Amino acid sequence: MIAERSGACLASLRSFFSNDPRVLEWGIAPARPTPNAGLLRTWVDDKLHAGMEYMAARLNERMDPKTFHPWAESAIVFAFPYAQPLSASRSQDAYKVAAYARGKDYHDTARTIWKDAEAHLKSDPTLAGMRFYGFADTAPVFERDLASEAGIGWRGKNCCTLNRSHGSAFHLAGFFLDVPLPPTAPVEEFCGGCTRCIDQCPTDAFLGPGRLDANKCISYWTIEARGEVPEDLSRRFGGWIFGCDVCQEVCPWNHKHIRGATPEGRDGVPGEPEGTLPSFPDTGNAWAALLRKGGGFRSRYRRNSPLSRAGRRNLLRNLAMAARNLGDTSVLESLRASLAEETDPVVRREIERTVAALEARAGMP
């Protein structure tokens, strides 16, 4: 009976993924303790997770899927592309949003894929009663380690999953099943002696290969953190408003996937209708107008964009830091208008610093 279910499940998975244009790669990992449990615990013990207390709160579940779901036998992991490719050609004087967030919320895409997979699997009477649990960066699951065990790629020195065919510009998601399945063979690590991601990080956030100090990471501060950003750190953020792509943009495995580098560059996720991607402001003034109270941020991004995780106030804080770093005096009046109506003390202090710095730059008394 077990062998019959396993065979039927494997055949159904192959049938589903071979016909799904949304998915770049997929593989099978055993639902067992992660081989890197010690590294993860040390990372948390050393406080390198910064203020992301959710990482520590359910650490045992992250390290062992069976702590989370005792019935789990196999983890199916799949990769699907960013809605828009990496773009290292963006001006250093530009306001920037990380490539992964320049599309609709990837959780929605992942959820649609795994629900389609569940329906496909359970259409087989042999699998109708199968237990199933989907995940996509929303549960205590160590997706990157599962991806490595499932042969999706290897863990790069920048902590991203790297794949020789697709680089790292993709999301990871998957689902647990109560069916034992043969695991996919892991792939070899191909970073070699390259350390570009470590050497070119603007804030020196990498303590070594695969060891990230989130306390220094631009993505942590512009997405997760809610308080005041140390000024000696924020001045190194450049124009990043939400996230950071530097450690991916400099990776040789991503060079052929960067927008404009080859005809492979494209917008959108295969299999999804065109015209569904949210647009973004392209100037500081446009960002400031959007992020004012009643400026339309909530209606435009609350339901379908990763930007909603940071929220309007923190994005306005980030805009102020970026404008100061870019020396963008054109945004002065817009920031003064925001300051007049903003009540959050952290956001106010950041705008005040920027207004003072830009006025000095413009030679204003």
Q: Which residues are catalytically annotated?
A: 137
Closest by CA to 43, choosing from 29, 61, 65, 63, is 63
Cα(165)–Cα(319) distance, rounded to whole angstroms? Answer: 35
Cα three-residue angle 148-309-352, rounded to 5 degrees: 125
- CB contact at 8 A, 140 and 340: no
Report which DSSP code applies to 221.
I
Dihedral angle sign, alpha carbons of residues 122, 125, 126, 130? positive
Look-up: residue for tokens 């000696």?
232
Tokens of 207: 């303590």
Strand partners, 173: 78
277 pairs with which residues across the strands?
none
The widest CA-to-CA distance across the chain, in whole angstroms, is 82
Phi-psi region at 81: left, alpha or beta (left = phi > 0; alpha = psi -120 to 50): beta
